[in-house]
Amino acid sequence: MNPSAANQTAATRLRLRITSAAESIVRSGHPWLFADSIHEANRAGQTGELAVIYDRKDKFLAVGLFDSDSPIRVRILHAGKPQTIDSSWWKAHLEKSLTRREQFFDETTTGYRLIHGESDGWPGLVLDKYDSTLVLKIYTASWLPRLEETVSLFKEKIPSERIVLRLSRNIQPVAEKQFQLYDGQMLFGLTPDAPVIFSENGIRFEADVMRGQKTGFFLDQRENRAEVEKLSRGKKVLNAFSYSGGFSVYAARGGAKSVTDLDISAHALESANRNFALNRNFPGVAVCHHETVQADAFEWIEKTPAKFDLIVLDPPSLAKRASEREGAIRAYERLNALGIQKLERDGILVAGSCSAHVSATEFFDAVRRAAVKPGRKFSELKTVQHPPDHPANFKEAEYLKVIYLKYAA
């Protein structure tokens, strides 16, 4: 890979012709062009350079980022009328993502997603804000040769104290070997000497921006956490797969009697304890009985004699690839059936899935099947999908879904 690939001149621009099936997919706005859809190229492409896609009549169709190592060979940046992708285009492109967020949050929320990959027009790139720290996470090697240019644009347009680089596991070897870029490194600013703290609806949380899952926190569950706060007054709450206790602090502020954080990771539970300590200024958090349990959630829930008024089940993705879809659907059904057995008579279940390979309907139906119990009646309170700072505008991007069920007393 050539680090100067991003600077290819127009004269040598990579030009691609694609199958007619792919042509209509690209025309419809889908952001991925797979390698086997390309039937003609004027030369070999280099990762990170711009590829221009032409239709059967040799007219401009789209332009995107080329990735020679990925089956998704081009990630579309722009489709439609011909466009020059230069620095002023990138500036305007960033402005669009930033402006889109302006009306979503007030000053009580200082942690949210600024750029959400393909659905924001930045394929394979995520930018999260945790107060004055920005975390840039990259999922495709095509951004690596462009990093300098991209980071200086972010620095110019988004006031911040530092920018942390996070790399998806599959691109870490090439990033290290060819670009000396490491997961968790500072692209700008100093390494934080304490956990980064941000606010979400007035609640303070720490984010493990250098090593934590995703970019350090599950910003995508914000709206569901706020909903759980409203449902928690006087309740005994179980937060399974709790991570750093996001749902739990909200439940406590909402007046939960007790909250149990259940996670397999001791590290996550330590963070949950710190997040409770950070919010003792809220009377609900100060008086709530909070405990942590380090265990496999499937095993612990099955065995515990305890019952709860509200259970949150938000496991990690149970289908990492398409072939795991059916097994994942069965696992969701089993997990939620286990949870439902531990609900008090008028208990509430909040069941989540973040597997893109399992559709919302497949997941909701699995939970509904799990909920059918002889002699017990349940009502469906609601289903929720993507929050506004995590838009999903094509099928493969739809990963998040949550269903709320309540049993009759």
Judged by CB under 6 A, which of 41, 226, 264, 381 binds ligand SAH? 264
69 binds ligand SAH (CB under 6 A): no
CA–CA distance, 368 with 90 (Å, rounded to integer) = 45
276 binds ligand SAH (CB under 6 A): no
Minimum CB–partner distance for residue 216 and ligand SAH (Å): 10
* Nearer CB in complex with ligand SAH: 6/268: 268
Minimum CB–partner distance for residue 318 and ligand SAH (Å): 9
CA–CA distance, 61 with 228 (Å, rounded to integer) = 45
Minimum CB–partner distance for residue 263 and ligand SAH (Å): 4
Minimum CB–partner distance for residue 269 and ligand SAH (Å): 9
Cβ neighbours for 291, distance < 8 A, ≥ 6 positions apart? 258, 259, 260, 261
Stretch that binds ligand SAH, among 110-118, 142-150, 311-319, 387-395 (CB under 6 A): 311-319
* Nearer CB in complex with ligand SAH: 16/268: 268
One-letter amino acid of 190? L
Judged by CB under 6 A, which of 243, 332, 378, 407 binds ligand SAH? 243
CA–CA distance, 135 with 215 (Å, rounded to integer) = 6
* Helix, strand, or coil (residue 159): coil
CA–CA distance, 301 with 238 (Å, rounded to integer) = 10
Judged by CB under 6 A, which of 32, 139, 198, 247 binds ligand SAH? 247
| Size of site (CB under 6 A) for ligand SAH | 18
Residue with tokens 């991007």: 397
Stretch that binds ligand SAH, among 83-91, 119-127, 175-183, 264-272 (CB under 6 A): 264-272
* Cβ–Cβ under 8 Å, residues 174 and 69: yes
- Other CB atoms within 10 Å distance of the CB of residue 317: 15
Judged by CB under 6 A, which of 36, 161, 296, 346 binds ligand SAH? 296
Minimum CB–partner distance for residue 249 and ligand SAH (Å): 10
H helices within 180-245, ranges in order? 222-231
Give the H/E segment covering residue 267.
Answer: helix 266-278
Q: At what angle do helices 222-231 and 246-253 cross, to 10 degrees?
A: 30
Stretch that binds ligand SAH, among 134-142, 170-178, 195-203, 262-270 (CB under 6 A): 262-270
Minimum CB–partner distance for residue 44 and ligand SAH (Å): 40
Q: Which of 396, 307, 386, 318 is nearest to 346 (CA)?
A: 307
Stretch that binds ligand SAH, among 91-99, 111-119, 135-143, 263-271 (CB under 6 A): 263-271
CA–CA distance, 16 with 200 (Å, rounded to integer) = 45
CA–CA distance, 1 with 175 (Å, rounded to integer) = 11
* Nearer CB in complex with ligand SAH: 65/340: 340
Judged by CB under 6 A, which of 8, 142, 221, 292 binds ligand SAH? 221
Stretch that binds ligand SAH, among 4-12, 22-30, 308-316, 325-333 (CB under 6 A): 308-316
Residues 316-375 that bind ligand SAH (CB under 6 A): 316
Judged by CB under 6 A, which of 141, 175, 197, 268 binds ligand SAH? 268
* Nearer CB in complex with ligand SAH: 51/238: 238
Minimum CB–partner distance for residue 140 and ligand SAH (Å): 23
CA–CA distance, 300 with 318 (Å, rounded to integer) = 18
By DSSP bridging, strand 111-116 and strand 125-130 are antiparallel
218 binds ligand SAH (CB under 6 A): yes
- What are the distances in angstroms from CA 377 to CA 10, 373, 405? 65, 8, 10
* Cβ–Cβ under 8 Å, residues 258 and 288: yes
Cβ neighbours for 287, distance < 8 A, ≥ 6 positions apart? none
Specify which residues 91 forms β-bridges with.
Answer: none
Stretch that binds ligand SAH, among 11-19, 56-64, 190-198, 236-244 (CB under 6 A): 236-244
- Cα angle 278, 184, 208; round to 5: 15
* Nearer CB in complex with ligand SAH: 198/218: 218
- Residues interacting with ligand SAH, by CB under 6 A? 218, 221, 241-244, 246-247, 263-265, 268, 296-298, 314-316
